[in-house]
Amino acid sequence: MKSLKKWWPTPIRSLFLFLVWLLLNNSVEFFHLFFGVVLAWLIPQLIHKFRLVHPGMKNPGAAIRYGLMVLWDIVVANMQVVRLVVGPNKRLRPAFIKVPLDLTDNLSITFLASTVSLTPGTVSAEVLPLNAGMDEPRYLLVHVLDLADEAELIQQIKQRYEAPLKEIF
């Protein structure tokens, strides 16, 4: 198994590269098959040492539930933003908030920041501090279009998005 990992460090990526090569060339001639296999083997060999190790997904079912929940939140937030934008602008209370993060790995923090940015009315601005150590606290700087209660929004982001991501990764 270890020797297989040495020759094919990322087999799924290799398969994907091979299939994309064939689709781009729109051919299954011997030359394209051969060159596709060579590229599918060579590219992962060359970039394998540069890859960051990311945590594996512990709970795929939770990931599916999380994706569906985010899609629902996007739809609901779109309606809320339309109501805010169409209404009088005096009602808007834009603000920046710092959400303390319990997540430690970069992949899950990226998922959280992306989720916040995908949801209309909020945008992830920065992770503070960017190069934090393991025991140094991190914060996600979020811009909010209309902030009613900072503590409530922070609690909502932590419970609705961060907690499931801790379960997934």
CA atoms of 35 and 25, how far apart (whole Å): 11
Could you tell me which of 121, 119, 123 has the C-alpha nearest to residue 85? 121
Q: Is the pLDDT of residue 73 over 60?
A: yes
Torsion angle of the four alpha carbons 127, 160, 57, 113, in this order, in degrees rounded to the nearest 10: -20
Q: Summarize the confidence of residues 74-83 as an average pLDDT.
A: 94
**Higher per-residue pLDDT: 141 or 137:** 141
Can you list the domains of the chain with their CATH numbers? 2-50 (no CATH), 60-168 (3.30.70)
Mean pLDDT across 126-147: 85
Q: List phi, psi (to 5°) of 92.
A: -70, 140
For residue range 95-114, list pLDDT tens digits in order: 999 999 999 888 899 999 99
Three-state DSSP class for 18? helix
Distance, in Å, from the CA atom of 136 to the CA atom of 104, rounded to the nearest integer, reads 10
The pLDDT value recorded for residue 163 is: 96
- pLDDT digit string, tens, across residues 47-66: 878 877 777 788 989 999 99
- Mean pLDDT for 2-22 is 84
Given a cut of 60, whether residue 1 has pLDDT beyond it is no
CA distance 63 to 131: 27
Residue 144's pLDDT band (cuts 50, 70, 90): very high
Does residue 8 surpass a pLDDT of 90? no
Quick check: 40 pLDDT over 80?
yes
